[in-house]
Amino acid sequence: MWQTCFLLCLILFGGSSEAKNVLLLLADDGGFEMGAYRNRIVQTPFLDALAKESLIFNNAYASVSSCSPSRAAILTGMPEHQNGQYGLHNGVHNFNSFPKVHSISTILGQAGIKTGLIGKKHVGPDEVYRFDYERTEEQYPINQVGRNITQIKLFVREFLQHSKSISNGSFFLMVSFHDPHRCGHITPQYGSFCERWGSGEEGMGLIPDWHPIYYVWDEIDLPYYVPDTQPARYDLAAQYTTISRLDQGVGLVLQELQDAGMADDTLVLYTSDNGPPMPAARTNLYDPGMAEPMFIRSPEKGARRNEVTYSMTSHLDLVPTILEWFNLTHPHPPAITGRSLLPLLYHEPVNPGDDAVFASQSFHEITMAYPMRAIRTKRYKLIHNINYQLPFPIDQDFYVSPTFQDILNRTKAKQPVPWYKTLHSYYHRSEWELYDLKMDPTESRNLFGKSSMKETFEMLYKRLQDWLEQTNDPFRCAPDGVLQDVGEYQDNPTCLTLGH
């Protein structure tokens, strides 16, 4: 029976006994700043080359728009409200995943597959997210393991050499770059995106393998969600320079894989944890915050390359994908709601129906209690702002950024803000936001409450609520009710509406 299933998997997915490794490349706050996604200004030759060898995802989404929760979701296949990593990893406030959660690193480790993490970790506890080989901010300064692409290259080389020396040889390696994350409020001498760090400028040190690319601020094409101001343009130009470091780092890592003779046995995935640290992006469930770049390069014959898939895809799909690549099953399959992406590598679904992805956010920093839940189909998005009676909170490194400080100063001085929102509308949101993304891709016109959208709202609401029930969301009754346990063993929670 097992042999029959295995042979069937080989036929369906083009697998072979040699296909035994996974390399996951993760950007930090990276968006679509690359040629592969039609950015005509930024220069990303290595990411573009990877895209040409990969299946390119045009509808990939984070399940949460916050660093640690997103990394936990990627590694567990569970949304933040289910795995327990509600906000930025913080031992003082116990922002950790639940101790009984199974991460992909522990599942693979127990199966005898060597696991490694190089770069930013920022999740906990250690017993849930344990890797055989770790070179992270827990052992080294974060810039050295996340931005120093020469050091990253050497760590990758060390990991691959050790993997080749063990009998099994199979590995899962996650290279988690720290670029293009902001760093201005911590080390302002390096620039708001650490774009000067390691650049060879006087006092900045030198990263031997990095050749910085600089951009002219007034020639950049601004995305719609960034205000057209000089501070914002300077900000974006600095971010683009760090994109060059990320891009060249990706090239170095892939070259190490090739030099080790393991490229033909390795599934390569590239994505980012969440959207850029700009207004309406990171920490938001608008598309700039949760829409992500994603490529998957398969070494197998027949796999799609330099093609695009429009299938709705979530970060929650990565764990099922990796498990299927290794021909493994999850120890608790009902706990994950994602699906393997391997079939997409060979054919586009003929009739995907009204497919959807889901998002869940509760915190970012400890003071940013603003739980949101969302469902997105190809055409519609419904966002539930549970804490809508309070203003939307702003995270600290974006708050002190040139872009946001300019928005604040212009608003205070009653000067025009060349932006698609106002500061007041950004801070104060309705409980429900419903958007027709076909007619309104910038999510500017909230259609909630319109009689013509009643049926659409009810359909989306039910699908979202069903997913929250399935994933045991403790916020699923809020803000109009409380979650009440009933039954002898308190295992059948129900919503008790306030006032009843």
Strand pairing of 481-484 and 494-497? antiparallel
As a whole number of angstroms, the distance between CA 500 and CA 224 comes to 45
In the predicted model, residues of the chain with pLDDT beneath 70 are 1-19, 167-168, 486-491, 498-500
Q: What is the pLDDT of residue 486?
A: 52
**How many other C-beta atoms lie within 10 A of the C-beta of residue 214?**
12
Identify the active-site residue in 5, 9, 67, 183.
67
Residue 350 dihedral angles phi and psi, to the nearest 5°: -70, -45
As a whole number of angstroms, the distance between CA 387 and CA 368 comes to 11
Strand pairing of 60-61 and 313-314? parallel
As a whole number of angstroms, the distance between CA 97 and CA 398 comes to 25
In the numeric block, the tokens 């569970």 are attached to 78
In the numeric block, the tokens 């990991």 are attached to 159
Contact by Cβ (8 Å): 148, 122 = no
Radius of gyration of the chain from its Cα atoms, rounded to whole angstroms = 22
Q: What is the pLDDT of residue 488?
A: 47
Q: What is the pLDDT of residue 492?
A: 72
Strands (DSSP E) contained in 28-102 are 55-57, 60-61
- The HSE-up count of residue 295 (CA atoms within 13 Å, CB side) is 26
Strand pairing of 171-176 and 114-119? parallel
**How many other C-beta atoms lie within 10 A of the C-beta of residue 45?**
14
Q: What is the pLDDT of residue 362?
A: 97
Strands (DSSP E) contained in 138-255 are 171-176
Q: Structure pTM?
A: 0.95
As a whole number of angstroms, the distance between CA 319 and CA 76 comes to 7
As a whole number of angstroms, the distance between CA 401 and CA 423 comes to 15
**477 is annotated as an active-site residue:** no
